[in-house]
Structure 1
Amino acid sequence: MPMRLGTPMPDLSGATEWLNGSLQPEEFKGAPTLVHFWAVSCHICHETMPDLIRYRDEWIGQGLKIVGVHMPRQESDTDIEKVKQDINTYGITHLVGVDNRHTVASAFQNEYVPAFFLFDHNGNLYFRAAGDKGFERLKPKLDSMMQDYLSSQA
């Protein structure tokens, strides 16, 4: 069963490796957060990544936290050099967990890439979606969540 809206953000500590930094769970407390699952073999992930990076850049200075979770779909996806190459190619500067054992994916009850989980500043699930159709719904939800967050900070 998929994670329900309002559910607290699961633990991210099950990743097998962290790239672009290390996991500091306290940095997510009180911050709106986007958790994005992707894979190097996922064509839709590659198509949507430039827009996702634009969304990140639009909101990161306003308090948004973002975590990528690389969730391999096949054995060749576990090649860390391929993951690093995609990180470089797409300009992924945010924290990326490599979830080769699918521990993080299981905690999020997620089977899909790409998949998007928005958590509000209280740490509760605000929105979730997967695939290209889900990605189309991400931007309006992200904008709404961030506007709510900024209003609450004023």
Structure 2
Amino acid sequence: YPTLSDPLVAMLAAPQWLNTQPLRSEDVRGKVVVVNFWTYSCVYCLRALPHIRAWAAKYADQGLVVIGVHTPEFAFEKDLPNVRSASASLGVRYPVAIDNDFGIWRAFNNNSWPALYIIGADGQVRRAISGEGGYDHSEQLIQQLLSEADGVDVASDIMAV
């Protein structure tokens, strides 16, 4: 199996998770992973969520792992019950790492909300997107990486959100 990149290792060390037990290296090793940095009061993050939720649902059976990283911009966003409630009301059912100390943020050298990192089955970041947009291109890359990982063609239709 490929080794995990340092940012993925840092993410797996998150002290708190929503919607899952803490993820382990075997949960992501050899998988295509989408990491979404977000915070629940950021309008730009909220506009990105429908795309990310759709990918999580559409490609779960093909091995895509979607992980949200909730990194708070404001103090009230550090409150776990607030994050849990917002995640539930927004339909975020995939794993969410709680990054109140910005450790994962720093490991990814991230600098914006939202931010999207698409990681190949080799554990390396293949695309980093700061801010909104580029969803069609991102989904095409996800399809390509899933096909490379499995050797199976993935449907090439693009989600209309």
Range into which the TM-score falls when normalised by the shorter chain: 0.7 to 0.9
Does structure 2 conserve the Cα–Cα contact (< 8 Å) formed by 1:9 and 1:123? no
The residue that corresponds to 2:39 in the other structure is 39
| CA deviations over 1:58-80 (Å, ceiling 9, x no partner) | 11110111111001111121121
Check conservation: 1:36, 1:115, Cα contact below 8 A.
yes
Structure 2 stretches lacking a partner, 5+ long: 154-161
Aligned length: 147
Give 1:130 deviation, angstroms: 1.6
- Percent identity of paired positions between Structure 1 and Structure 2: 24
- Check whether the contact 2:37–2:113 (CA below 8 A) recurs between aligned residues: yes
Partner residue in 2 for 1:55:
55
**Structure 1 residue 151: Cα displacement:** 2.0
Q: With structure 1 as the length reference, what TM-score do the two structures score?
A: 0.85
Higher relative contact order (CA 8 A, sep 6+): 1
CA distance in 2, matches of 1:14, 1:75: 22
TM-score by length of 2: 0.82
1:79 aligns with 2:79: yes
2:112 corresponds to: 112
Structure 2 matches for 1:59-138, cutoff 5 A? 59-135=59-135, 137-138=137-138
Distance 1:121 1:65 in 2: 10
Q: Aligned-pair RMSD on alpha carbons? A: 2.0
Deviations 1:7-62 (A, max 9, x none): 93522144241111222222111111111110012101111212210111111110
